[in-house]
Structure 1
């Protein structure tokens, strides 16, 4: 057996950063006996980079919670919220309503659902909702008008689609009808045409029948009646064909 086989391994064995220093001719430091195997060294390599032992990566990141831990945390939050409601239900209910209405209008049904989810008694919730309605903080009619105007302008939704959205939000039929009266036939046609023109930009060279089917489907999903949808689509495609057939003025 040779003398090399009896020689103890160098101090840097097992530490990649110290091994690199030994390879370039730098004398590796003697590991401190009190340092744990996962502790990062504060020395820097010849390139100026901070050296670190393997196993350091990822240190400091929070451990992923198990399903049982997440469930326990959720139950603890729910129990704490229930205890708070039981101690002072009116104060908690007021806070929920005011926080929900900060910066955004909401319907009475949306607010009632929030109170019910937090365990606020129905009688107290109804009383507070009536009071907030009396002072104008809750106004389903104004909410519906604002919602219809905004969604029709930004998304091009037709009255039928808007009526479904208002119904899901708990707006009454009378309030919804009044709000939808803002959108006339000309408004619907203009909004539908804007949707079609925008979509046509990405449909050049498409077969006319396929284009018609896709555009009509787009308008149907936005709530437009079939008659209006096909009328707008035919008009847009006809104008597009006329533009393509028109000779360039320079020729």
Structure 2
């Protein structure tokens, strides 16, 4: 008795088209990942923007996640390390950037857990010190000029995601240190 395979209910041309679209989606993701690491949400958005169906996008992204090319936790840790070192960002700004990139809150919390208040304050002090070296300080008795410099520095730290109270404390202390340094 010879068994014959059951006839396929799906159209072979449709299966070929689906496979072709899957390969195109995979190629797009790999090309995007070549430039820099990306989150799953960023890749989903790129695939959706180019009109790939959700099922193909999900299959491609699941496979890339499975082989380790898409890892939101690793991305978040690298992003935090890089942005703290190069841009001097604070916790609040880093969390906002990661949320914008589609990273889950639990992953964000895990990535930011390594930053303690002391390290954040030290980085803020360093940023203010670097900025103050280039800042022209007027007469020590001119409160308006000193307040203007202080507002600028507190604003710089606030834009980088630092707590306003800590920023004000750091700026006040560093302004006093810089004035003392320039007296010598």
Q: Normalized against structure 2, the TM-score is what?
A: 0.83
Alpha-carbon shift at residue 136 of structure 1 (Å): 1.1
Q: 1:105 aligns with which of 20, 34, 37?
A: 37
Partner of 2:135: 203
Partner of 1:238: 176
Partner of 2:163: 225
Structure whose residues are more often helix by fraction: 2
Q: Please give the secondary structure, in 2, of the residue aligned with 1:183.
A: coil
Alpha-carbon shift at residue 203 of structure 1 (Å): 1.9
Partner of 1:185: 117
Q: 1:175 aligns with which of 104, 107, 121?
A: 107
Is 1:152 equivalent to 2:84 in the alignment? yes
The CA distance in 2 between the partners of 1:151 and 1:228, in whole Å, is 20
Is 1:213 equivalent to 2:151 in the alignment? yes
Q: Please give the secondary structure, in 2, of the residue aligned with 1:142.
A: helix
5+ long unaligned stretches in structure 1 = 1-84, 247-251
Q: Please give the secondary structure, in 1, of the residue aligned with 2:134.
A: coil
Partner of 1:40: none
Q: Please give the secondary structure, in 2, of the residue aligned with 1:145.
A: helix
Q: Normalized against structure 1, the TM-score is what?
A: 0.61
Q: Which has the higher contact order (CA 8 A, sep 6+)?
A: 2
Alpha-carbon shift at residue 88 of structure 1 (Å): 2.1
Alpha-carbon shift at residue 217 of structure 1 (Å): 0.7
Aligned pairs for 1:1-251 (under 5 A) are 88-206=20-138, 207-246=145-184
CA RMSD of aligned residues (A): 1.6
The CA distance in 2 between the partners of 1:211 and 1:103, in whole Å, is 39
The CA distance in 2 between the partners of 1:217 and 1:243, in whole Å, is 23
Alpha-carbon shift at residue 87 of structure 1 (Å): 8.5
Q: Is the 8 A contact 2:39 2:75 kept in 1?
A: yes
Q: 1:239 to 1:125 in 2, by over 3 A?
A: same
Q: Please give the secondary structure, in 2, of the residue aligned with 1:171.
A: coil
Aligned residues between the structures: 162
Alpha-carbon shift at residue 103 of structure 1 (Å): 4.7
Spell out structure 1 runs of 4+ moving beyond 4 A.
none
Q: Please give the secondary structure, in 2, of the residue aligned with 1:154.
A: helix
